[in-house]
A and B are shown apart, each in its own frame.
Chain A
Amino acid sequence: MEEYPEELRTPPVSLVALFGYSELHASITKYLHSQQPPINALAFPDFSHISLLLAHDDQISRTSSFRDPLSVADSSSPIPSRCGGILKRDWLLKHRTKVPALVAAFFPSHHIFGDPTQWLQVCSDLDSLKSVIRPKNIKLVVVVVQSSPHEEISEDRLVALRKRAELDSKYVLFFNSSIDSELTHSLSRHLALAYYREEGRRIKSRVEKKSSNSLDFNVRYCFKVAVYAEFRRDWGEALKFYEDAYHSLHEMIGTSTRLPAIQRLVEIKIIAEQLHFKISTLLLHGGKLIEAVTWFHQHKASYEKVVGSTDFIFLHWDWMSRQFLVFAELLETSSATGQSFSSSNQGSAEISLTEFEFYPAYYYQLAAHYLKDKKSALELLLSMSEIAQEIDTSSASITPSVYVGQFAQLLEKGETLTLHSITDEEYIRYTISEAKRFQDSLEIIAWLKRSYESFTNLKARRMAALCAFELAREYFDSADPSNAKFFFDISANLYRQEGWVTLLWEVLGYLRECSRNLGALKDFVEFSLEMVALPVTSYDNSGNLRNKNYGPGGPATISGRESIHQEVFTLVCREAEPLSSTEGSGFKLATDSPLHLDIDLVSPLRPVLLASVAFHEQMIKPCTLCSFTLSLLSHLPLPVEIDHLEVQFNQSTCNFVIRNSQRPLWASASNTVKSGSQVENEPSLVLVPNNWLRLTYAINSEQSGKLECLSVLAKLGPLFTICSRAESPAAMEELPVWKHENSVESLPTKDPVLAVFGQKATQIDEPEPQVDVSLGASGPALVGEDFTMPIVVTSKGHAVYSGELKINLVDVGGGGLFSPREAEPFSLESHHVEICGIDGAEGNDESESETGGIKKIQQSFGLVSVPDLKEGESWSCKLEIKWHRPKPVMLFVSLGYLPHGSEANTQKLHIHKSLQIEGKMPLLISNRFMLPYRRDHLLLNRIKPAPDSEDMSSLPLNEKSVLVVSAKNCSEIALELVSMSIEFDDELGETSCLIQQGSGCGDSPSSANLAPGEEFKKVFTVIPTTRTPKLGLGSVHLKWRRQGGNITEAYVSTKHKLPEVNVEASPLVMSLNSPPYAILGEPFTYAVRICNQTQLLQEAKFALADAQSFVLSGSHSNTVSVLPKSEHVLSYKLVPLTCGEQQLPKITVTSARYSAEFQPSAVASSVFVFPSVPQAEKANSTTK
């Protein structure tokens, strides 16, 4: 695209000429430039420069064969029968830089309206200006520059001015010293465009009249109309006329006879190219992507077959390549490319378009393709004809002529230069010499690179791979093997991945040559081996090996594989004799340079040597023999003999060598296999193509743990080794290029089970440990106590050296040992169960400290070192575990030791023991409050409970309440309870409450034995002294231990927090007075006292319900007023009628002030009725 002149590449720019008043020119020019679209301005300082306007500066005078097309067009003379060319080269430029559409003449107003001499000068300037521009129809504008807007204007002079300039008022403008946008606007819009419109119309009329029968003129006129339309930004008309021009031009092919045949076609093609360029640009800028692509299709289709002379076909390819390139560049720069092209993609046009045709990359690729054609055509031409070879740059005097697409010879005759038309032969000589100078391959590489990058960005990997391949081939042809190799590798990777064998073969053939040229022997061997191992099964050898369609690898056939196989193996398996170079291969090889190939699981060389290894057992005992099968497979076309094989394991002592006894023993031993390791001899080690070579041996290992086969190393000849990663038959992946082949698949091992499930690794057991670890106790453990677990290590045949005991506590039930809920009282520790300590063995403390005594204890993990033990000795320790929560726990104990002293290579033996221990709650503590006997307090909180004190018990202030604390043994073990006491948690509690042991102080037993399920109760009295809604009563402290255990064992202290209580003063207290018992038939007094504890008068309503067992005297219901701080007594006489425990008549008191009703509790208001007076002793014991 850059080859095109700028005036063709960019839309035309209007031109305005300015005369006079040069100080304004700069600002006006600037303003015109900033217009949208911009306008160029030619500035002439004064009218003396009129002659410069439209002056020709051509130094070349035309010979008679070249006539000025404009003069032809403008003259009214009869249409000439023939003209020199279709388009003039500088016509576009002329309209951009020389021929203005408008001349603006600036006159100061005082020149016009002032002095008559100055007026005359103005008139003469106008006349001379008119004489220049009239023939060209250039518009004239007279601008009167006023010094101030209110200047006096003489109408007469103005009319005279118009008359002189032959202009109507529209073309005479007034202008103040400041830039007036109206002025420039009218300059640009109306006046300049008017010229292009009129010119366009004038020429269009010629086209329409068909005044010219010559197609040449038709093309030219259409072109001009289109250009004028472009000036006016009338894109639609421009497009229409460009297309007309294009079609007329196409008709000229074969009809035009003006120039010699080759040049004639060249001219047409070049003009077609320019027209096509214009059309494509207009379409693309208009956003008509689909139309542009379709247009390009048509353009390509209509000129594809217009080859011209087949001898010089390179001209055509050159032209074709340029079409693609220019369109690619246009597409790339066009903003429309990003748009979706989905709309009316297919169906609307008869040529359906595909995705790629909207990508510049596609065109770049094809441009490169055609340029390649051109290059090869040119090379062919140069090689065929000797004349062509001789052509050098001597014919430099040929230059492009004044017409587009024509060339002429520049002759110097004295001072003047003349152009002469040339013959086809001269033209061809000229083009060949030009083409020779041109570096085609650089262009091809650049375009292909662009295409490659763009396809890569589009994720069109295969297209990119093809571009990379073409690119690499171009590099290869221009002898740049390192760049070529880079791009060949890119495409080889994709072909490998997708299994396109023929394509891969081709690329590898090139890659092989690249490495040969680069002198990279290893690469060369790798590529050769990969090629050889490709699944090429074609026997067809009819293709000519020297056919240029094949790469250096030749056709992909079996014989091709075989010959490469032989070539590479003679190269690498040469004898150790000093060879300076191997014939034909092009490599200089030093005798002592070994070649080592590593084949891993992703290597493309896997088909060359596939090693599958399987142990016959999944688990083996140490020091026993185990069968082991090694299977090798090669896809090389010819059998390969291996000198020796080395099998390498993760335990290097197991490595062994398999030697081919037919081959001489090479002096150079391997590094990986120690001397003295296992060596097997095989009568022959030949890898037959596509057949497994199966070898089974017995190996043993003394070391326990994993034994894994890592790799198999094959040595072929003294200097060549291939190391293949060992694979398990069970996990063996198919070979990527071979998996689609229809070959018969055989199993790597004869045993089909092994072939499916065989593993390349086996587990070697540890030797049996001969040491016993016993855990001396079992559960259940009780929460709070230090649970002791004796651990005894007893040697039974093995001595114990550097023993280590690992202890682990693992939660059984799930939920973890580490999730204390913060709100809970016991969770001060972070663990529910923890190891508190480990007591070293009795009497062994010293030795422990000597050995360094590893003793680490964490909450759920402990590590203790065990002193060295001789056979038969034992050692023990005690583990203390504490439960904070009832929880089952798994205890794991593992002992690791060395049986044979401190030898470094021996392995530790391990013994594992585990035990589940339940953690249980020993005691269940509960408490109960009891109010004073037969005294009922009106506790308002109990009647109308506060919302947040649901379960809180209320106690009356300054009254003695009873608290019963009971502890129940809920474990399965008898416990000894030592003491129970209540202790306050803080100072505040002590001042606000008084707690005493139960009434009979000291007579409760100091310790009690609790069998499972038994309950121990203790009574406390509580007198709250402070009125508070939340009184902390402290907590119960319980000391206990297992019954019958060790006397020295410490007591376990358990805490139980008592609930908080609500303390309030009661306004009314009702107490019942009745004898402790009654006797049938004997009356007794039953008094109810209502005591007012407030400073207010209390009105109390009472109601007494009848009871069946008693006869009652007294008022049933009434309302009484109780004075402040006094009491009212209701007295009744009752006669019991029935024996036994009887309910006294129930009294209900209702406080009017608090509208609260309360009753004594049922327990308090009952009495036992004896049938007769009991005896004194009996009575005494019952009251106790």
Chain B
Amino acid sequence: MKLIFEKSIDSRTGFKLPECDVDIKFNLSEKYLRKSQAELPEVSELDVVRHFSELAKRNFSVDSNFYPLGSCTMKYNPKFTERVANFEGFTDLHGLLPQVLGASMLCQGALQVVYDVQKLLCEITGMKAFTTQPLAGAHGELTGAMLIAAYHKDKKHKRKYVIVPDSSHGTNPASAAIAGYEIITVPTDKTGCMDFEEFKSKLNENVAAVMLTCPNTLGIFNFRIKDICDEAHKVDALVYYDGANLNAILGKARPGDIGFDIVHINLHKTFATPHGGGGPGAGPVGVSEKLVGYLPIPRVVKRSDATYALSYNRSKSLGYMAAFFGNFSVILKTYAYIMMLGKDGLTEVSETAVLNANYLKEKLKKYFQLDYDRICMHEFVISAVSQLKNNIHAIDIAKYLIDKGIHPPTVYFPLIVKEAMMVEPTETESKQTLDEFIDVMVEIAELAEHNPQALKDAPVTTCVGRLDEAKAARDLNLRWQK
């Protein structure tokens, strides 16, 4: 398929602007004006429509296929939330409106949405206050790491290290490192949880925080999680909850009750807003009582007359983490989703997500090695090591799944499981879909024994075959040039 730049024909246009009948003088300095014409694709409207329709047909999304990508919670995004996000009362608002004198009365609804979502997220996680500003999960983590730094700076602590388990999401140590911390990694014990004694031996008054996912990336809930929080608090280290796996515990356990100090939530995972290339994400951050003062400004507050306004008066605040209130339409969809499901609905989300994962795990463990064989939460990790003897790797299984119309699970993560395949079915899939997936996985196990070449040849139904991933990583070519 050609790039849209390659479809460009000199002087072809898709839109004609009317003559400008207003006398406008631009006073831009010469140095800001470009010297040559921008080389934009010159295409007609129909060229553009066909180009993007063709791209859309090639897209692989949860709207078209099963998508059990572990730790990503690729659940179905219900369409009513799109309708809510398209209400004109919201789409026609300008983000500066609440800052204009008197104009905050023109956007009370939007301010209330931000206020209420923060309150709802507090209720769901047991935290004291939330900010909706962070624009993605990793941005939420950075906000969290900066809150950790702000807390210790304020208390005049000199803290150098952040502890993570070796099963952690790579973004945890990365976010802490970006905030200036050095990383201490604690190994996983044979139950699949962070080794508690090792953790204790590495914890001291140089440690700023512990960053954890619970359930972790093996899909296992750490039953010593409260002990971990208590130990950390003994040396005044903070405990950070990576909310990527929150879909497992809605209505069942609250990080705030367990003792976590900071939580980030991926709205595009747990709260069913579009994910990945499907739209901007959002990574709201919640904190315990002792960190409320450091949250980014502005805060949306409710005044005594029940109207909403912005508050900037916070001397210890981190300042802005993003423009305005974050990705507002994502927050709006989350509001709609939470209100539609309610407390019982959200609890059922987690119950069904966990049931679906355990069903798949029990059916698949006869065919693929399961290193940590215990009840899992919303996801589990199987391994292709039994298939290695016929030179079949996790990547071959992933490619064959694509041919069968199934998005591959996360492969080669977490790093502590060899030939890992991390499966997260989510609650939105039916038993029929799960059974179809099981059938394909059983077929793969048989092919690995009797016809491994069929797996090596995959994918054969896609517009391109097996890509040279090493070349793609070694010789990056990201820019089109004539």
Q: Is the pairing of A and B real?
A: no
Residue positions of B touching A, CB distance < 8 A: none
Residue positions of A touching B, CB distance < 8 A: none
